[in-house]
Amino acid sequence: MFPYKIQSHQDIPIKAVRQRFDFANDILTMIGNEGFDVGCILFTDEAHFHLNRFVNKQNWRFWGSENPHLCEEKPLHSPKVTAWVEVCSRNIIGPFFMRETISSESYITILEQFVSTQLALEDRPSIEWFMQAGARPLCTEMVFHFLDEYFGNRVIALDYPKFTGTGMDWPPYSPDLTPCDYFLWGALKDTVYGNHPSTLDELESAICVTCYSISVETLKDVISNFILRLRHLIFSNGEHFENIVV
């Protein structure tokens, strides 16, 4: 069964709706006036993959006009791994895995591995922006100091400008804008469990193989879809909209 949470449009705070609209408007203005290339945004995210085929991504939602107050039961202690990835128009870096609860310290360890890998690439653009969503262990002073050292004002993250005075806020309540949420995690789930991995090692291996099999052409389409979503967000005045097929 596909994991989900039902949430209505009315559950979204008015402030968040405005933040979403302003973010879309800012990015589209940068594209139109400055020739900003969204392909240089390094979109990052993490999700839990359970051996019982459950993929836990908190931001996944089925949006509706009303909240039917449904819930889905799931095992409390199912064996799982947490996969963290970066997605852009050129490649996927990762996945990097954790089997313990994510913390600021463990997240920085992943960021160190990511930065080391990213710096070694030969096809890096001259300017790169780092994006992360708003999970609490990711929005700490320790993490923001690390990101400031490597990316400076080219960070899109919830509360980052409040800590550093630079960068852009990632708008809350925005799973419909992140490539990992609207594309990657679903694509992985459809393939990873096809061979029925029975151990965490097999599960990690299957996630890696599936990530490596995604073509550059597909990634370019996924990032182009991000621009389309920004335009739909403007049209919907910051509200959530129906899924757009990549």
3-state secondary structure of 191: helix
> Which parts of the chain register pLDDT below 70?
1-11, 54-77, 242-246
> 224-240, pLDDT tens digit by residue?
999 999 999 999 888 88
Residue 152 lies in a domain: yes
In the prediction, which pLDDT does 5 show?
Answer: 38
| Confidence (pLDDT) at 205 | 96
Residue 41 domain-assigned? yes
Range of the domain at 197: 14-50+76-236
CATH number, position 162: 3.30.420.10
Q: What is the pLDDT of residue 238?
A: 87
Q: Which long-range contacts (CB under 8 A, 24 or more apart) does 50-53 make?
A: 50/75, 50/78, 50/79, 50/80, 51/78, 51/79, 51/80, 51/197, 51/198, 51/199, 51/200, 51/203, 52/78, 53/189, 53/193
Number of domains in the chain: 1
Does 163 map to a domain?
yes
Handedness of CA 70, 75, 80, 82 (dihedral sign): positive
pLDDT at 105: 92
The answer to whether position 69 is within a domain reads no
62 in a structural domain: no
CA nearest 214: which of 183, 181, 182? 183
* Model pTM score: 0.84
Cis peptide before 179 (omega within 30 of 0): no
